[in-house]
Chains A and B, each alone.
Chain A
Amino acid sequence: MSLLFSKLKRQLMLGVFTAAIAAPFAGSAAHAADFKFAGPLDAYTLDPHAVSNTLIFAVLANVYEPLVRRDAEQKLEPALATDWKQIDDTTWEFNLRKDVKFSNGNPFTADDVLFSLTRGQAGGIKANLNSIASVEKVDDFKVRFTTRAVNPILPNQLTNWFIMDKEWAEANNAVQPGAANNATETFANRNAMGTGPYVIKERDPGVKTVFASNPNWWDKKTGNIDNATFFVIANPSTRVSALISGEVDMIDGVPPQDADRIEKDPKLHVKAGPDLRTIYIQPDVARDSLIFGSEKAKNPFKELKVRQAMEIAVDSGAIQKRIMRNFSVPVGLPIGKEVNGFDETLGAPVKPDLDKAKALMKEAGYEDGFSVTLDCTNDRFMNDEATCLAVAASLARINIKVEPRAQPTAKWATQVNPPEYNTSLAMLGYSPNTYDAHIFLTSIAATRDPKSGLGAFNIGGYSNPEVDKLIDAIGKETDQEKRSGLIKDAFRLIKADAAFIPLHQLNILWGVKDNVTVVQPADLAYPLRYFTVK
């Protein structure tokens, strides 16, 4: 009885659906479309300055805009600034776009830029704005940034710094950026006021976010999405089911093992593209013994030959085929192909060579190997635990008995992250959000220095004074060609030291309906303005 009723209703709904499809063809040519998509996690907050988090930026980039943004090919292009130039070593001048309005109708001016800088530098994104010492308003549509040191890539660093309406923030008591343990939550945590292509129409944190087109946007959308709803579906099987049953048009985070199931459906396909994030293994070369391992008298990872042997013992090609089901790209450097500074020759995947690896271990005096614990996460990256086990198996072939210890990220981070760095061997991943190698070099390859913050996430304590000098020089070099040369030099040294054993670059896996065209940036964003539903 109820089944019959549902069936009838379904037919009715189908009728409505057909009418909805037919209507646009009868009407005007440009048809606006609704779009539903789902991902595993929600943006924690709508406050653009509270936390530096990829997902928050991914959602907010549809509502807020930076001065400089990335286009569909990930190249820099003007957004709220029309053009910019470096007028001397430490000064950048930006001309701002005129006639831009926030979605409440307030005009966008230099005051909003100044306000957003103060707000951003007080919030969780301050590290991204660290290089800016001050900003000066020249007139309503021109600002000058003074950088702390020479900074040739300031525009690259500004793509995730969103401009908020000053008047709105002041009127709604949201001048201070949200922070845990503030006395009260800020209004901007659940509400947004930007200049972007969409406005947030409805938000239920952790459940769904509804975007509606901003009719007064200064730019033209190339896509046709008018209303978009982002659902949070934590369970991967349910996410895939929701796509197959047609409840959503796109899902993020397709489990590799379900990719076949989606491809088999005649109306769906999997869109796989490179993720900026690169996964690598880093041994602890700072301590004199293995804190989690058999060698207490001497740290074998201090031997270059041991590290070189490990590098050629790990078979990233096999991991790509067997573990990642081809949804990864093996690389020879701990940065990805999309990152400015990536070099094709240096970045070619390392060829595994077991005999040579065994010979190197023998030369180093570790023919019989040793044992060590490999610290990995099990909920952070695609198939991270399986990758960890595969690495352990690879290293067992050269008699390094690796005990994999896979933990949830929250637990893993207390142990491995600064200031403790409690690991002898760790599997790590890094995504340089500026699309430039310098951020990797300063936070991961530089010698640790708690005062300056350099090398804060150099988990293994790698240190090479030559590399440090180059990093310093790269930071000051304004000639792009010379700068690229210096970056290449730095990575050549890093590669020769074999202190980072690169595995692969991950893929972003989206399941998409065939009638939807999407743009999939490597920084995990959802740029709805490029999406089209046919």
Chain B
Amino acid sequence: MLNYVASRVVQTAFVLLVISFIAFLLVANIGDPLAALLSADATVTERAELVARLGLDQPLLARFLHFLGNLLQGDFGLSYRTQDPVSQLILERMPATIELAFVSLLITIAVGVPAGIYCGVNPNSYFGRFIMLISTAGITLPNFVVGLLLIAVFSVQLGLLPSFGRGDVVQIGFWSTGLLSVSGWRAILLPAATLSTFQVAFIIRMLRTQLMEVGQSEHIRFARARGLSEARIWYVYAIKNTLLPVITMLGLQLGNIIAFSVVTENVFAWPGLGSLFLQSIQAADIPVIAIYLIFVGVVFMVINLVVELLYPVVDARVLRRQS
């Protein structure tokens, strides 16, 4: 077991190193931060001074090693754009993104799981077909279209919910939460719903297929032959076999939501990491973009690592295969 854990951790560390190098290479070619930093009538001398101060005149490898060295010491550098420490920028924006991901996950579970079960149990009912039709729209419509539609209906036409921002936030230590105020909940509903449309549709389709398959399996047929009630068959025996892959998928999707809420955050001016990322790209703010990409890498790697470490717990055969 220890061997297994160690090998996974070493692999993760190696992949992270590669990710940070790729992130660094990407952003080193993204554009010119000088355009944003220098005034329109700066002289060539001023320009040269700034290039030297930012270390842009050093060879690429030297810059990467310097960057990596600082990274390992916990120094993530200063943003070119706002001149704030990058770690502070990320920490400030992270709660908004995580809360958004969390609420959208809640919506996904609250809507997607019951609807999926209904469709799986009654695949040929009219209502089940209707849900499937809607879910096709949820899978095909791009996120920003869903967001703008929701704004047009709920903010502009009905005036029920705010179209942008996060409402009032309460500061608990370093964490700023919008989940303790009414305006915060009002503000999170539309972006969270937008972000969850794809997930909901995805879970519905997945649950339906799984349930229909399980419905044909031997143990269900056997249960039916024994004369158990339909409700007991579906909701106790069939669901047990379908929930495990669903939970795994939801976990992996959570990483996706945290990392790629960029579009939704932009539409709703949600002050999270996605908005920070876009603002940084516009200004070619290399330190922030690099750290953000590495952060996304870390999120994915950690989630993958946890899943991989959980495999042997669920299925002991994984370990046996190793030895």
The chain A residues found within 8 Å of chain B, CB to CB, are 3, 6-7, 10, 38, 41-42, 44-45, 47, 50-53, 124-128, 178-182, 185-186, 189-190, 204-208, 231-235, 237-239, 241-242, 244-247, 379, 408-411, 413-414, 417-419, 430-431, 439, 442-443, 450-453, 456-457
Contact = CB atoms under 8 A, between A and B. Distances in A.
A379 B39 contact: no
Interface residues of B, number: 58
Given A52-B40, A414-B35, 4 more contacts: A181-B55, A181-B80, A241-B151, A247-B163
A442 B279 contact: no
B159 A50 contact: no
Interface stretch (B127-135, B209-217, B239-247, B262-270): B262-270
B34 to A, nearest CB: 7
Nearest to A177: B83
B148 A185 contact: no
Contacts of B38: 124
Interface of B: 30-47, 53-55, 77-85, 89, 92, 148, 151-152, 155-156, 159-166, 266-269, 271, 275-276, 278-279, 281-284
A393 to B, nearest CB: 28
Given A50-B83, A185-B83, A241-B163, A442 B284 contact: no
B41 A235 contact: no
Contact of B271 (A206, A409, A417): A206
What are the nearest 5 A-B pairs in CB distance?
Answer: A453-B43, A410-B31, A413-B35, A52-B39, A414-B32
17 contacts: A44-B283, A47-B83, A179-B53, A180-B33, A189-B82, A189-B84, A205-B82, A205-B89, A239-B164, A241-B151, A241-B152, A242-B162, A247-B155, A247-B164, A413-B35, A453-B42, A453-B45
B82 A45 contact: yes
A451 B89 CA distance: 38
Contacts of A247: 155, 162-164
Contacts of B148: 237-238, 241
Contacts of A453: 41-46
Contacts of A7: 160
A131 to B, nearest CB: 12
Nearest to B30: A410
A419 B37 CA distance: 15
Nearest to A420: B32
B40 A234 contact: no
A238 B162 CA distance: 10
B152 A181 contact: no
Contacts of B46: 126-127, 453
B31 A411 contact: yes
Nearest to B278: A234
Residue from A126, A233, A244, A410 whose CB has the most chain B CB atoms within 10 Å: A410
B83 A127 contact: no
